[in-house]
Amino acid sequence: MCGIVGYIGKKNCKQIIFNGLKRLEYRGYDSAGIAVLDGGNIEFIKASGKLKELEKLMDQLPNSAVSGIGHTRWATHGSPSTINAHPHVFGKLALIHNGIIENYGDLKTGLELAGISFHSETDTEVALMMLNKELEEVEKQVGHNPSNIKQAIINTTSKLKGTYSFGVIYSEEPDALYLVKHGTPLAIGKGEEEMFFASDVSAFVEYTKKAVFLHDGEFARISSSSIEVYNFSCQPVEHVFVDINMRSEELEKGGYAHYMLKEICEQPMVLSSIIDRLVDKTNSCIKEEALGLDKIDVRGIRSVHVIGCGTAFYSGYTIKYALEELTGISVNLELASEFRYRGVHLDPSSLVIAISQSGETADTLAALKYAKEHGAKTYCVCNVYYSSIPREADFSLYMDAGPEIGVASTKAFTGMVLCNYLLAIGIASRLKDKKNIYSKVGFSSMLKQMYYLPSLIEGIVSGREEIKEISNKYYNSSNFLYIGRGSHYSIALEGALKLKEISYIHAEGYAAGELKHGPIALIDSSIPVVALIPNDRYFPKTESNMEEVKARDGRVIGVGDREKISKVCESVLRCPQIEDPYLQSILSVIVLQLFAYYIANRRGTDVDQPRNLAKSVTVE
């Protein structure tokens, strides 16, 4: 989604802002722009398309400017044209925006009736014109004073409905930039005689690791050496600096062709560090404190709700299936976008677990807020520190997967699955005295199997050439089906999502048992069916489903143990086997991540920034 960035200091700002925008590219965008303040004049450039289009215009900006703002736009209101790109500039103001002004239509009508005309189709220009009008009103009342901008900001925010982070240049105040936050992220970076701001810290982490995260309902005035934060009643608010634990090298491709491939290959390291943090290897038990189990009154829980979107939602099947199996407690797994509006009954005996890589997904955040308002205990599994979802949750379990830049989630998904599984085991181990359901199974043997996971994944990624060769046989297909059972149902969903996201091939995931209830009508020799068939208790059933596909001239690509499945398959994507079904699902999905990656690569799509997609979905 939109990325905002800004700089004020002593240096030529345009390149710093452009570099910041490069860092935010991964969020997804379709046009971009920069505005700078030079000698009291606002100069700006905008371009539709990728940043290389904007780069061609950089010479139009003065080298002497030392403050400015930049934006990558993911179109919501109005096409991704140059005119709709930000910054929007009028009079003494330039403004960039991440979010959506929901009442922009009514506000625009009112402004038009007052004689104000618009050039773009965006909700953002409405916010700009509203700010300009409010500024004029304040001037009329109290006379000219540069600090009137603060009152104008407050008056404007009182009229806006929706979500927004704004970065504002006000040419009357060349030594300052104004920032406003309500519902979408905004961080300020403090350097030596320079200040940065951005939607996320990756935009400025190469310059400074000291940051302030604004809260909803706050605005800030920043200069090269100061930060003043206010609430929307203009009361000063104290701000806290935090140290960012991110190295700028983590934001590089590190020799890989794409971030996605790099992130797939990082999975042994990511999972091994999760295991080290959350499992006590000496005693083969969960580190309950690290999981925050002491913060949840596990025994008082009567209902569990797991919420997320997209890949995060699919990872939630691990908690649902594992927790239900281990504890007998029913788990409601639900898309956050549905949960938030459905009026689900919650009370202090409900536990709501939100899962999110970015920690900023608008639907998940709103659903979590709903849960809090209704008295539920809240917990989140997240990757990004200081993001909005962990700020809301009573306890946050970080997967610490490092920055995930590829829009298609890979290492975050397996990180989520592992964290979810450990959480389920942790809750079950706390409950076991009461229910005793799980004592037969034995937690320590499950945990011991985990220790093999990183080396098994190493085997998959180092043998990836074989997956590449097989993908070459199928890259031209227009439709795929993915099927799986049990823990592998969610992997069928996730595998299909990965393929469609980055290759633009239509792919659907189904529970293998559902095939005959409809999708089998699609089967012919043109549709490859990717069957997830590990050596688990469902093996004979899934094998029968594969036979059914084969009997109808379908082309079966099996994911599993070659020796056992090759006779039913046209091709086999080999996958190492492990007894535990949830750990197996991690291995299987990595094979599918690579399969999707190589197909997309062969089709020549933009693997890291697929069309229309955003990494962090900060609007509904």
Q: Residues in the site for ligand AGP, rule: CB under 6 A? A: 309-312, 356-358, 361, 364, 407-409, 501, 613, 616-617
DSSP tag of 277: H
Give percent helix, percent strand, percent coil of the chain, each to the nearest 5: 40, 25, 35
- Smallest gap from residue 563 Cβ to ligand AGP (A): 32
CA distance linking residue 125 with residue 118, whole number of Å: 7
- Residue 271: enclosing H or E segment and its boundaries? helix 267-278
Which residue lies nearer to ligand AGP by CB, 367 or 569? Answer: 367
Which residue lies nearer to ligand AGP by CB, 310 or 495? Answer: 310
Buried b or exposed e, range 2-19, using 16+ CB within 10 angstroms: bbbbbbbbebbbbebbbb
Which residue lies nearer to ligand AGP by CB, 355 or 422? Answer: 355
- Residue 480: enclosing H or E segment and its boundaries? strand 479-484
Which residue lies nearer to ligand AGP by CB, 151 or 409? Answer: 409
Residues identified as active-site: 2, 615
Q: Is the dihedral of CA 590, 596, 601, 607 positive or negative?
A: negative
Which residue lies nearer to ligand AGP by CB, 361 or 487? Answer: 361
Which residue lies nearer to ligand AGP by CB, 31 or 361? Answer: 361
Cis upstream peptide for 610 (omega within 30°) = no
CB 546 within 8 A of CB 558: yes
CA distance linking residue 569 with residue 543, whole number of Å: 10
Looking at 139-286, which runs of residues are DSSP E strands? 162-170, 177-182, 187-190, 195-198, 210-213, 218-222, 227-231, 236-237, 242-243, 279-280, 285-286
Smallest CA-to-CA distance from 315 within 275, 376, 277, 364 is with: 364
Q: Name the token pair of 489.
A: 């149902």
The torsion region of residue 558 among left (phi > 0), alpha (psi -120 to 50) and beta comes to: beta
Residue identified by tokens 């940043």 is 51
Q: At what angle do helices 310-327 and 411-435 cross, to 10 degrees?
A: 20
Which residue lies nearer to ligand AGP by CB, 515 or 530? Answer: 530
Q: Name the token pair of 318.
A: 């691990």
Which residue lies nearer to ligand AGP by CB, 407 or 431? Answer: 407
- Which position's Cβ is nearest ligand AGP? 310
- Smallest gap from residue 145 Cβ to ligand AGP (A): 43
CA distance linking residue 315 with residue 188, whole number of Å: 32
